[in-house]
Amino acid sequence: MSAETAFALGRATAERLRETAGRAPRIVLGVDTRLSGAMLRHAFTAGAVSRGAHVTYAGIVPTPGVSFLTRHEGADAGVVVSASHNPYQDNGIKIFAASGDKLPDEEEAAIERWLEAGDDAYPPVTGDGIGGSDRYPRREGAYRQHLLEHAPYLDGLRVGLDCANGAASEIAPELFRRIGARLQVIHAGPDGRNINVACGSTHPSAIRAHVLEQGLDVGVAFDGDADRAVLVDARGRLVSGDHILAIVARVRGDAEVVGTVMTNLGVERWMSDHGVTMHRTLVGDRYVHRELVQRGLRLGGEASGHVLFLDKAPTGDGLLTALQALAAVRASGRSLERWMDEIPSYPQILRNVPVDTGRKHATASHPEVLAAVADAEADLGTDGRISLRPSGTEPLVRVMVEGADSERIERYAARLVDVVARVGAAS
C-alpha cells in the first residue's frame, strides 16, 4: 500500500460515488495509529479532492466509529486507513457505504474498474470543480454518545483495558470511566510502531496477566482498529467472541444467531441445549453480516471477538461488543465467572501452515489434503470438527481441529499440518 495507490484509490472512489450520487460526493475518513496512516490518508484525500469530493477527516477513531459517523453525517461513503489486527508495517484502506455497511461486491468491482482505468478516462477537473477537505469538529463525540446509549453502569467494577496501542487508546478509557468503572489501562500509548505488538485481542495473555496480578473483576482487550474485543474473567479465562455470543443470546432471548465454521463446537452445543440455534457461515464478518441479513437476525459473530449487533450498529464494533457483553452479564444477575463455569469450550487447535505464494487455494483443495481431512472427520464423528481454509491475506493455510478428546485432536492436527506443508511446498 503506497501513497500512489492511495491517491489512485481516492480518485477512483470519488468517481464511482459521483456516478451513483449524481453530484460531488462527501466522504468521512478516519485512521488508526500506525506510522503510515498520515501518509495514506493525505494521499487518498488528495486523490478524492482532485475529482471534486469533499473529505472530512475524523482523526484517529475506531473503524466502527467511521461507520457510525458516515451514516450519522449523511456522507456518501466512509473510509478507514487501517490494517486492523496486523503489524504496523501493514496498512490498508476500507470503504463503507452511506449506510455504514461494508461495500457490496458490485460496488467494490466498480471502484476497481475506475482504479484500473488510465488517466484518459478521467476528464479534467479544475476551478470550482475541485473538492475540499476539513476536520470533523466534534471528533467522535456523536459516536461516543451512541456507545453510551448502549452501555451499562458498572458501579465500581474493577476493569482492565488493553487498547492495543491503537484506535481505542483515547476513547475506550474515557468511555469506561464515564460508566463507573474503576479502571486500569495498559497499552494505550501509541507511537506509530507499537500497535498490536504483544498486546490487544490478538495477544490476550497481556490482559490476562494484568487481571490476575491486579485482582481485577474483568479485562477487555481490543485490536488495533477496535472493531473486535475479547474479555478475560477474574480467574484469567479467555471470554472469546463465541462465549460473548452465547451469553448475550441467552440473556437477550435470541432464538437464532450466526457463527462461523470456527465457532467452538462445545459453545454451539450449549446454545442448542438452551434453545438457541446457531447457523454457521464462512469466516469473515462480511459473511456473518450477509447471513444475518438474509435470515432477518440481529446477533452473530466470530471467536476473534468480531461480534455484530445489527439492531444497534451495521458493522462489528469492539467497544459495543464489550459493553453489550458486560450489560448482559449484569442483567443476568450472575458473575462472568459463573457463565464461564457453565459454558463448555472444546479444545481447539489452530495451526497456520506456510505454503508457497500462490498455492494456498490449490493446497486447501488438493485431493491428498481432502482425503486426509475426510479420514480424520470419519474417526472424530460427531465429537469433533475440522476446518481447513486458506488465509485471506497471507500465504498460509489455516488448519483447525477441535473435539472433546485433546489427545486425538493433537494427533490429527499434526497429521494434517504435515500433509498441508508437503503439498503446499510442492513445485
Structural domains of the chain, with CATH? 3-139 (3.40.120.10), 150-342 (3.40.120.10), 348-424 (3.30.310.50)
The predicted model scores a pTM of 0.90
pLDDT digits (tens, 9 = 90+) for 63-73: 999 999 999 99
- Weakest-pLDDT range from 116-125, 127-136, 174-183, 321-330: 116-125
Assign 427 a pLDDT band (cuts: 50, 70, 90). Answer: very low
Task: Compare 93 and 262 and report the one with higher pLDDT.
Answer: 93
CA dihedral 207, 212, 216, 219 (to 10 degrees): 20
Exactly one of 36, 50, 84, 387 is catalytic; name it: 84
- Predicted confidence (pLDDT) per residue in 351-368, tens digit: 999 998 888 899 999 999
Residue whose C-alpha cell reads 496480578 in the numeric block: 213
What's the distance, CA 181 to chain centroid? 25
pLDDT tens by residue, 190-244: 999 999 999 999 999 999 999 999 999 999 999 999 999 999 999 999 999 999 9
The dihedral through the CA atoms of 35, 37, 43, 45 has a sign that is negative
CA–CA separation, 354 and 422 (whole Å): 10
Nearest to 318 by CA among 168, 129, 145: 168
Task: Answer for the pair 38, 60: CB distance below 8 angstroms, yes or no.
Answer: no
% of the chain surpassing 70 pLDDT: 99
Residue 216 DSSP SS3: coil
Instruction: Let me know if 84 is a catalytic residue.
Output: yes
Give the mean model confidence (pLDDT) for residues 365-388: 90
Q: Are 79 and 56 in contact (CB under 8 A)?
A: no
Asked which of 124-133, 138-147, 250-259, 380-389 is least confident by mean pLDDT, the reply is 138-147
For the stretch 36-71, pLDDT in tens is 999 999 999 999 999 999 999 999 999 999 999 999
Confidence class of residue 293 from pLDDT cuts 50, 70 and 90? Answer: very high
Give the per-residue pLDDT at 139.
Answer: 53
Integer Cα distance of 224 and 208 in angstroms: 18
